[in-house]
Structure 1
Amino acid sequence: MRSFRYPVLLLLLVATLASAYWWSSRPPEVAVTQPFRGRAAEVVYATAVVEPVRWAKVTSIIRERIISLCGWEGAEVRQGDQLAELDSGDARATLAELEARRELALSDRERALQLMERRVVSQQVYEKAQNEVIRINATIAAQKERLRDYLITAPMDGAVLRQDGSVGEVAEPGEILFWIGQPLPLQLVAEVNEEDIPKVEKGHKALIRSDAFPDEDLAATVSRITPKGDPILKNYRVYLELPDDTPLRIGMTTEINIVTNERDDVLLLPIAAFDGTMLQVLDDQDRISLIKVKTGIRGTRAIEVLDGIGEQNQVVFPFQADLSEGDRVAPRDGGAR
């Protein structure tokens, strides 16, 4: 019985070793795809904000307490309409004091004139009194002009897009209290990296992605590019026209892809299949061949292949850095079209 058991154990051992050898030596399985025909588009990515084409920020130029606000958010206003008033009590008290001083100066001038006519005082005394009247009149005119700063008015025709601040708060110089603008037309204002700005031209179409409207196909057109860039942030401001029927609202943020170049019916491969311009292509025996190809438009998902392979080739997807020239593999369909 023992003599029978040993051959059986030997056969099992041989089978196990053979199975282990087959398993360790079998070709690795890799996903493959084939070049496909489609549209190639080269895009420049940027973030953008929706703004009116014509609008203005309204600020205070003095530090003073707010005593009234129009409360007209969304309402139409005309240029010069009063939007807010600041506390001008101290300024008016100063004006009243100046006007009282003017009355005194006028009285002094009149008395000096009478004395000069009677040759009691010299002409220099009269001229000094006259100069004092002129100086006070100039100071009063300047103070009246300052009082205009306490009334905040609309700088243009349009709508009150937004109002900040409350009655009783202190308005700081430069602090925005109102946004006044025309609701239409709207535009996108984007910041484009200086490396990409040479590709962008007036008239280029941009595709818009908005979290507020994720299922809508939104578009805009490049209307102008600011000639001078920001040397600190290293970007350029790009303005894009929006159609009048856009659902986007003022102040919304969006992501845009400006299409700088596109071609139809070209050969494409997914970006992940490339290592630079190198591809791993399978030959008739499912062995790896490293092929350098000529590429064209580089899109966000696919790259145009100009020369080097055809539609019938099987390409490893994604590129496997651990595979070498001549390695045998077991291909499986990776899709990726």
Structure 2
Amino acid sequence: MRVLVLAALLSVTSGPGAALGLPDWLDFGLHAEELPGPPRPVVSVILADRDTEARGIPGIVEARSQVQLGFQALGRMIARPADLGDKVAQGQLLAQLSTDDLVASTRAARAALDTAEVADRTARATLERTQALAERNVASNAQLEQAQQAASAAQAAVEQARSELAQAEDAEGFARMTAPFDGVISAIYEAPGAVVGAGAPVLQLSAEDTPEVVIDLPEPALLGLETGAGFTVWHRNDPDMQIPATLDRIDPIADSATRTRRLYLTLPPDAPFRLGALVRVRFGTRDAPSLSLPAEALVTTGEGSAV
């Protein structure tokens, strides 16, 4: 019986029934692996080039000459007429300390001087009497030497009291802070009512005569860069107004945290940038040609980089 069934199956697959359509799972030839075609090239398409601002280096406009001003005496600040962004002239009042304590110190120093002068007059009179007695052999040489030493000490006390009075009067004058030159207030550190120490910064004054742009660059970007190199600067909100700038100097020491060097670019006197403005900077002048390449197009070897 099994022989007959096997023979029937063989006759179906090899006989006239083979022309009939067989099930797909029996037709192994239809699923044979196709040969791969020729490789297709991969093309990178740049839809839009980055604008000039995206390629710019961030920077800030600062003054070439700027100083932090503070009082030369300890005291409580009672007034600060100058505020952030104010333009001030040389000699203009910027801040003032309370003079109550300073006036009291001056009065105490003047009283100490008066006391020292009285003691000096007394010591000199005693010395004169002792000298007269010594000439008549009434006073001993030891008494004369003691009177001379007392007179010298009294004279030294007078000189010290005069010096302390002069210092107190100077400190009273230090209660007024005035502008040493024309400029603009670029930073504020203390508000009225605060007790400030001698030499502590209260505000920062920046001159407007020579503005410059400050940028930070890594060490590799400085290769071949020399003083006088041309740059282009523009405001972030107005990229069409591009101003030329020149490299003035480079900090000799790199920042310990970022390992970058600070560059100072000199702007023309009529540059339309205010102090503290955020700007963008790029190498070269505005008319210098530039070419943008994707990073994948650069190949770096031991001999350098190439396209």
**TM-score, scaled relative to structure 2:** 0.69
Aligned to 2:266: 241
Conserved in 2, the CA contact under 8 Å of 1:188 and 1:241?
yes
Aligned to 1:67: 78
Conserved in 1, the CA contact under 8 Å of 2:255 and 2:261?
no
CA distance in 2, matches of 1:162, 1:244: 22
Q: Paired residue for 1:6, among 21, 25, 40? A: 21
Conserved in 2, the CA contact under 8 Å of 1:77 and 1:154?
yes
CA distance in 1, matches of 2:244, 2:280: 11
Give the aligned residue type for 1:211. Answer: R
- Is residue 154 of structure 2 the alignment partner of residue 141 of structure 1? no
Conserved in 2, the CA contact under 8 Å of 1:45 and 1:192?
no
**SS of aligned partner of 2:300:** coil
- Larger gyration radius, structure 1 or structure 2: 2
Task: Report the CA distance shift for 1:240/1:231 in structure 2 as closer, same or farther (over 3 A).
Answer: closer
CA distance in 1, matches of 2:189, 2:300: 52
CA apart distance, 1:222: 0.9
CA distance in 2, matches of 1:102, 1:229: 53
- Is residue 243 of structure 2 the alignment partner of residue 232 of structure 1? no
Q: Which has the higher helix share?
A: 2
CA apart distance, 1:275: 3.6
CA apart distance, 1:201: 1.0
Unaligned runs of 5+ in 1: 34-43, 278-293, 306-337
Conserved in 1, the CA contact under 8 Å of 2:73 and 2:171?
no
Task: Report the CA distance shift for 1:232/1:45 in structure 2 as closer, same or farther (over 3 A).
Answer: farther
Q: Paired residue for 1:110, among 112, 121, 135? A: 121
- Is residue 68 of structure 2 the alignment partner of residue 57 of structure 1? yes
How many residue pairs end up in the alignment? 267
Percentage of pairs with the same residue = 23
Aligned to 2:207: 182
Give the aligned residue type for 2:249. Answer: R
**TM-score, scaled relative to structure 1:** 0.63
Conserved in 2, the CA contact under 8 Å of 1:56 and 1:155?
no
CA distance in 1, matches of 2:277, 2:173: 35
- Is residue 55 of structure 2 the alignment partner of residue 30 of structure 1? no
Give the aligned residue type for 2:125. Answer: Q
What is the CA deviation profile of residues 38-70 of structure 1, one whole-angstrom value per residue up to 9, with x for unaligned ones?
Answer: xxxxxx985432112333222345553211112
Aligned to 2:138: none
Structure with greater contact order relative to length (CA < 8 Å, sep ≥ 6) = 1
CA apart distance, 1:136: 0.9
What is the CA deviation profile of residues 114-145 of structure 1, one whole-angstrom value per residue up to 9, with x for unaligned ones?
Answer: 33333377333222221111111112222323
Q: How does 1:1-337 map to 2 (within 5 A)?
A: 5-6=20-21, 9=24, 14=29, 17=31, 21=34, 25=37, 27-31=39-43, 47-71=58-82, 73-119=84-130, 122-172=147-197, 175-208=200-233, 210-226=235-251, 228-230=252-254, 232-233=256-257, 234-259=259-284, 270-276=294-300
CA distance in 2, matches of 1:208, 1:108: 72
Q: Which has the higher strand share?
A: 1
CA distance in 1, matches of 2:26, 2:39: 26
CA distance in 2, matches of 1:174, 1:103: 31
CA distance in 2, matches of 1:139, 1:48: 50
Conserved in 1, the CA contact under 8 Å of 2:76 and 2:98?
yes
Aligned to 1:283: none
**SS of aligned partner of 2:67:** strand
